[in-house]
Structure 1
Amino acid sequence: MNKQKLTIVGLALMGAMVGNATFDTVMAQEGSKTEQMAPKELKALQKKVKNNFDSVGYHMELIKAMGIENPELFNLYEGWMKEKPTNANIPFALGTALEREYSPKAKTYLLKAIDINPNLKEAYAALWSDASRWGEEEKGRSYLKKITEIDPEDASYAFYYASSFKNVDPAKNKALSLAVADKFNSSERGAQALYWLAHQTQDLQEKEAIYVRLKKDFSPAKFNWSGSGMSAYNDLLLKQQRYAEAGALGTELFEMTKQENWQQNAETALKFAACKQAMDNKDWDKALAILDGVKVSRYSSAFKIIPVSKAEVLHLSGQTDKAFGTLMEFYTKSPSPAVKESLVTYGNVLGKDKAAVQAAISSSLKANAKVATPFNLKNYAGSSNSLSDFKDKVTFITYWYPGCGPCRGEFPHFENVVRKFSKDRLAYIGINIVSSQNDYVLPFLKSTGYSFMPLEDVKGRDKGNLDNRGAAPMNFLIDKQGNLIFENFRTDADNEDELELMINEVNLL
């Protein structure tokens, strides 16, 4: 297959590769615009394709010129497929163009292509990407397996195949991921396999061992996924209060990569170490001053360490009331079981029992609540639903669309949580923001068994404080009275307990 074809197919698969990211927000894809072409030029382009059916580049040029939704395009290609029934590139080109546009029509033509040529690797790749939008995980896995058989040296699809077992067979996922790291030890995919394996591993010793191997076998100066893994390793060390090791890691990585964020990480770790030393010396003012000087991203584990540490310093210095208030302010925006446990502890010191602490939490959440912007959207059963339909229930809303890889990555973790609540207590809503992918929605739900009620968004509507800003996933929790309580949170294997906690908190309002 020529290089031109491989380049175009590579572009077509960019959307498929997003499906392996788990903690990103992505903008919804819009259909490409058709460029108007004079009839004479269009005829010449059609002739060029007919004389070069194996050139996918020419096919793509023609399809773009005619328009992917143009009935004449499909008539033309149906005619060519009858004329050349043994040429797999004709249905493959049309199927690939449709897949790039996230069109449900893609599958028909891609299946025709592999029926003609069972070893057409790029068609299986496009079918895998398409299968994920239908929720057909087993089919997608079979397409990936076929690619690894056709081309065992393709590091990307060896990684994707290993990753496909993450939610169905963790042991196989682990074995295949380690095999990818072993075989492709000079590829970014080898580093990526170790990164995700560490991310998914719950045993902290095993997780750390994977990070250590990642740094050793894949230099963070060379491999981006190794650099990301070292950021996660740094977070792990901070959570365990191993500040000296975190500082040493930051210094080593700064010297290795010359990236300023590692110098900042080292400085942050040293500040935490200095804070701990000040606390040991009972120098409370110095400890608080150090913590006030720590500035980190809200996505860093240190973001949650700071308020907990401040509260501890305040409590030890005899200011338990301020400790309680500091944690309450943080908990209202970013709840976690650990922070709530500390709230209960400090509350007890102040003479508050568990019920009184819970009452204080509920009061704080209500004080920060805002009436959620109402909506009325079409469902996929021929009618519509408004926010008021879910009154007297906690309402969990996620914005998504079938082609959104991070959305699909989050759904299994949502299910692990929402299935703990009865449907008379919790309404789980998924708002599809890409109407052109509507045909995927119900098959996706049927294939996956996910339990959310699908609604179709309306482009340009006033979303008020439920605005996803054109991106997905974006998540919101609304109380039984229709007030927005929590927003802009994400859920993965490490924090399912936080989503469960948030739902329980909202249910008590």
Structure 2
Amino acid sequence: MILNRLNAAAMLLTGMLFFNSIEGFAQHGKNEVVTDKAQLAKLKAAVEASPDSLSVHTAYTKAIGTENPELEKQYAIWMKKHPKSAMVPYGIAKAYLNEESPKAKPYLLKAVEIDPKFTEAWGGLWSDGERWGDFKLSASYLAKAAASDPSNPTYAFYYASSFSKTDEVKWTKMSLEVAKRFPDHERGAQALYWLAVRSKKTVDKMKYFELLHHSYAPGKFNWSASGMSSYYNILLSENPQKAVALAQEMQKTEKEERKQWPGMVLQAQTIAKAKTLMDQKKGAEALTELKLLKLSKYSSFKTELELLKAQANDVAGNTRGAYDSLIVVFAKSPSTALRTAIASYGNKLSKSTAQTDADIWAGLNANAQVATAFNGLKRYLSPGEASLADYKGKVVLLTYWFPGCGPCRGEFPHFENVVQKFKGKDLEYLGINIVSKQNDYVVPFMKGSGYSFTPLEDVEGRAKGNLDNRNAAPMNFLIDKEGRLIFSNFRTDGDNEDDLELMINLLLNPKQA
């Protein structure tokens, strides 16, 4: 599975494990196949001696390899020989699950048929069901996994989380119950973490982060440690002095090999000092302080920092500098917050809306590049192949994905919310599947999910140029009607759908930004 390029905690959005590249995905479940007949015979004998042991099944399936046609033949024999053993079909199902193979499903169904309380088999059906796109059926499997073992914190957490988009009240209540029931388990901390991250209101985010902070020691629970980083970013904007206190506390328990919090203490102190200076109308001094800050590559505070710099410029009487700086930032990383600030500073400079729009487009045009053409991508839902030229005259929202990609599936509903607002407009929504081994999932996924993107299959080894996904998914691009790449490497979630809507609107109506 594939890197999603956000912080490590966010990589577990849907409860799946992710790998850093296509190569990593290919190696998942890839083992040294054993060719020595004596060794295979020994592993086979171990299964026959202990058919209810998962470890012996794992050793055998790794040794023979899932590509070997003898694997299914052997398991057909064993299932017939041990008709009451749910572990036998699960043994081969687990091997296929590890590779996200569609072949897992019938064996998982056989396992739960034999043992309706087989928690991990129900869990396997749940994760496999997500790849088929039948979310209602998948949710029923998850419910059965949780019911089969109420003491299991993993499925209690995932079952509670499954209501986050359909019943917010139930999700909140169940997540708090998970945190209360499992005070010594990471899943309890994770339940509070996601309550904080997914809450819409800042006040609720802060409330749940505080609860996480006090209920789960960050030095002991990884989800709490990750949560404190997210909480810190909110505090930088809302209460920088409190961010200083949190960072100072965290650096005392930080592991020696990481040592990120001392820098974050300094960062919060700088923000607090700059805001105080601006309150004192000392904009130039505040800007000097802010320019000293060096944020990490993945910091979520980058836009906020640019807005603060612009504010300092404005306080110093350099409104033109504030305006120009945000035009540059917007061209690379657009957001509604930046657009609002640009309009405000433009108004102070007596610029009309048309003039502001023209300045924004001058910035976008300066960075625009002709999108690297693609050709020969197989269509899944209709005959023939697709090329970028087929969509000339349309804005193209392009995402790289694959059925097993949890972050991709997590992003699709937000894309869909935005795309549906442009129904009937000149917008084409394309999804390029980068894992051909999962082709069997694609058409059922599209039919079951109801998502509106056009699925295409990637061509191995093709030159991607400026549309290169770098062996990662999801990776997103927006191409204008003239075939120029305007926006890239952005993500969309429940907090920033309006940013994607803004970007699409800009490209659909370049003279009406």
TM-score (norm 1): 0.92
Question: Superposition pairs for residues 492-503 of structure 1, below 5 Å?
Answer: 492-503=493-504
Question: Superposition pairs for residues 106-185 of structure 1, below 5 Å?
Answer: 106-185=104-183
Contact 1:373 1:464 in 2 (8 A): yes
Once residues 343 and 226 of structure 1 are traced to their aligned partners in structure 2, the CA distance between those partners, rounded to angstroms, is 36
- CA spacing shift, 1:34–1:250, aligned 2, 3 Å: closer
Match in the other structure for 1:375? 374
- CA spacing shift, 1:23–1:154, aligned 2, 3 Å: closer
Deviation at 1:56, TM superposition (A): 2.5
Once residues 50 and 302 of structure 1 are traced to their aligned partners in structure 2, the CA distance between those partners, rounded to angstroms, is 57
Of 203-212 and 352-361, more deviation after overlay is shown by 203-212
Of 208-217 and 281-290, more deviation after overlay is shown by 281-290
Once residues 12 and 491 of structure 2 are traced to their aligned partners in structure 1, the CA distance between those partners, rounded to angstroms, is 17
Contact 2:18 2:405 in 1 (8 A): no
The reply to whether residue 248 of structure 1 matches residue 245 of structure 2 is yes
Contact 1:21 1:406 in 2 (8 A): no
Q: What is the DSSP-based 3-state SS (H/G/I as helix, E as strand, rest coil) of the residue aligned with 1:397?
A: strand
Question: Superposition pairs for residues 195-344 of structure 1, below 5 Å?
Answer: 195-240=193-238, 242-257=239-254, 260-344=259-343
Once residues 62 and 227 of structure 2 are traced to their aligned partners in structure 1, the CA distance between those partners, rounded to angstroms, is 40
Match in the other structure for 1:191? 189
Deviation at 1:445, TM superposition (A): 1.4
Deviation at 1:96, TM superposition (A): 1.2
Contact 1:406 1:473 in 2 (8 A): yes
Deviation at 1:99, TM superposition (A): 1.2
Q: Which residue identity does 1:364 align to in structure 2?
A: G
Once residues 431 and 255 of structure 1 are traced to their aligned partners in structure 2, the CA distance between those partners, rounded to angstroms, is 46
Once residues 23 and 268 of structure 1 are traced to their aligned partners in structure 2, the CA distance between those partners, rounded to angstroms, is 32
- 1:217-245 CA distance string (max 9 Å, x none): 111121111122122222222222x2212
Which residue, out of 14, 19, 26, partners 1:20? 14
Of 350-359 and 291-300, more deviation after overlay is shown by 291-300
Q: Which residue identity does 2:164 align to in structure 1?
A: K
Contact 2:283 2:314 in 1 (8 A): no
Contact 2:15 2:406 in 1 (8 A): yes
- CA spacing shift, 1:40–1:478, aligned 2, 3 Å: same
Question: Superposition pairs for residues 388-399 of structure 1, below 5 Å?
Answer: 388-399=389-400
Q: Which residue identity does 2:251 align to in structure 1?
A: F
Q: What is the DSSP-based 3-state SS (H/G/I as helix, E as strand, rest coil) of the residue aligned with 1:399?
A: strand
Which residue, out of 30, 53, 69, partners 2:26? 30
- 1:448-476 CA distance string (max 9 Å, x none): 11111101112221111111111111111
Once residues 469 and 71 of structure 1 are traced to their aligned partners in structure 2, the CA distance between those partners, rounded to angstroms, is 33
Q: What is the DSSP-based 3-state SS (H/G/I as helix, E as strand, rest coil) of the residue aligned with 1:491?
A: coil
**What RMSD over aligned residues (CA atoms) do the two structures have, in Å?**
2.0
Deviation at 1:130, TM superposition (A): 0.8
Contact 1:56 1:89 in 2 (8 A): yes
Deviation at 1:66, TM superposition (A): 2.6
Deviation at 1:437, TM superposition (A): 0.3
Once residues 128 and 24 of structure 1 are traced to their aligned partners in structure 2, the CA distance between those partners, rounded to angstroms, is 17
Q: What is the DSSP-based 3-state SS (H/G/I as helix, E as strand, rest coil) of the residue aligned with 2:295?
A: coil
Contact 2:87 2:111 in 1 (8 A): yes
- CA spacing shift, 1:21–1:269, aligned 2, 3 Å: farther
Deviation at 1:486, TM superposition (A): 0.8
Question: Superposition pairs for residues 431-470 of structure 1, below 5 Å?
Answer: 431-470=432-471
Deviation at 1:97, TM superposition (A): 0.9
Of 101-110 and 137-146, more deviation after overlay is shown by 137-146
- CA spacing shift, 1:423–1:457, aligned 2, 3 Å: farther
Of 317-326 and 403-412, more deviation after overlay is shown by 317-326
Contact 1:26 1:472 in 2 (8 A): no
The reply to whether residue 478 of structure 1 matches residue 475 of structure 2 is no
Where in structure 1 are there 5+ consecutive unaligned residues? 1-16
Deviation at 1:318, TM superposition (A): 2.5
Deviation at 1:34, TM superposition (A): 5.2
Deviation at 1:197, TM superposition (A): 0.7
Contact 1:102 1:130 in 2 (8 A): yes
Deviation at 1:22, TM superposition (A): 9.6
Instruction: State how many pairs are aligned.
Output: 492
Q: Which residue identity does 1:208 align to in structure 2?
A: M
Once residues 358 and 443 of structure 2 are traced to their aligned partners in structure 1, the CA distance between those partners, rounded to angstroms, is 41
Contact 2:346 2:356 in 1 (8 A): yes
Of 269-278 and 439-448, more deviation after overlay is shown by 269-278
Once residues 315 and 18 of structure 1 are traced to their aligned partners in structure 2, the CA distance between those partners, rounded to angstroms, is 40
Q: What is the DSSP-based 3-state SS (H/G/I as helix, E as strand, rest coil) of the residue aligned with 1:118?
A: coil
Of 144-153 and 116-125, more deviation after overlay is shown by 144-153
Of 481-490 and 246-255, more deviation after overlay is shown by 246-255
Of 316-325 and 437-446, more deviation after overlay is shown by 316-325
Q: What is the DSSP-based 3-state SS (H/G/I as helix, E as strand, rest coil) of the residue aligned with 2:83?
A: coil
Q: What is the DSSP-based 3-state SS (H/G/I as helix, E as strand, rest coil) of the residue aligned with 2:128?
A: helix
- CA spacing shift, 1:52–1:143, aligned 2, 3 Å: same
Q: What is the DSSP-based 3-state SS (H/G/I as helix, E as strand, rest coil) of the residue aligned with 1:165?
A: coil
Once residues 62 and 217 of structure 1 are traced to their aligned partners in structure 2, the CA distance between those partners, rounded to angstroms, is 43
Of 23-32 and 35-44, more deviation after overlay is shown by 23-32
Q: What is the DSSP-based 3-state SS (H/G/I as helix, E as strand, rest coil) of the residue aligned with 2:260?
A: helix
Once residues 154 and 102 of structure 1 are traced to their aligned partners in structure 2, the CA distance between those partners, rounded to angstroms, is 23
Contact 1:159 1:180 in 2 (8 A): yes
- 1:426-450 CA distance string (max 9 Å, x none): 1111111000001111111111111
- 1:394-438 CA distance string (max 9 Å, x none): 101111111111111111111111111125421111111000001
Segments ≥4 residues shifted beyond 4 Å: 21-26
Once residues 57 and 246 of structure 2 are traced to their aligned partners in structure 1, the CA distance between those partners, rounded to angstroms, is 51
Contact 1:308 1:327 in 2 (8 A): yes
Of 272-281 and 484-493, more deviation after overlay is shown by 272-281
Q: Which residue identity does 2:463 align to in structure 1?
A: D
Once residues 389 and 33 of structure 1 are traced to their aligned partners in structure 2, the CA distance between those partners, rounded to angstroms, is 41
Deviation at 1:46, TM superposition (A): 2.8
Once residues 379 and 481 of structure 1 are traced to their aligned partners in structure 2, the CA distance between those partners, rounded to angstroms, is 23
Q: What is the DSSP-based 3-state SS (H/G/I as helix, E as strand, rest coil) of the residue aligned with 2:408?
A: helix
Q: What is the DSSP-based 3-state SS (H/G/I as helix, E as strand, rest coil) of the residue aligned with 2:373?
A: coil
Question: Share of identical aligned residues, percent?
Answer: 48
Contact 2:418 2:500 in 1 (8 A): yes
Once residues 360 and 427 of structure 2 are traced to their aligned partners in structure 1, the CA distance between those partners, rounded to angstroms, is 20
Contact 1:25 1:474 in 2 (8 A): no
Match in the other structure for 1:11? none
TM-score (norm 2): 0.91
Once residues 481 and 250 of structure 1 are traced to their aligned partners in structure 2, the CA distance between those partners, rounded to angstroms, is 48
Once residues 452 and 127 of structure 1 are traced to their aligned partners in structure 2, the CA distance between those partners, rounded to angstroms, is 25
Q: Which residue identity does 2:124 align to in structure 1?
A: A
- CA spacing shift, 1:19–1:237, aligned 2, 3 Å: closer
- CA spacing shift, 1:339–1:119, aligned 2, 3 Å: same
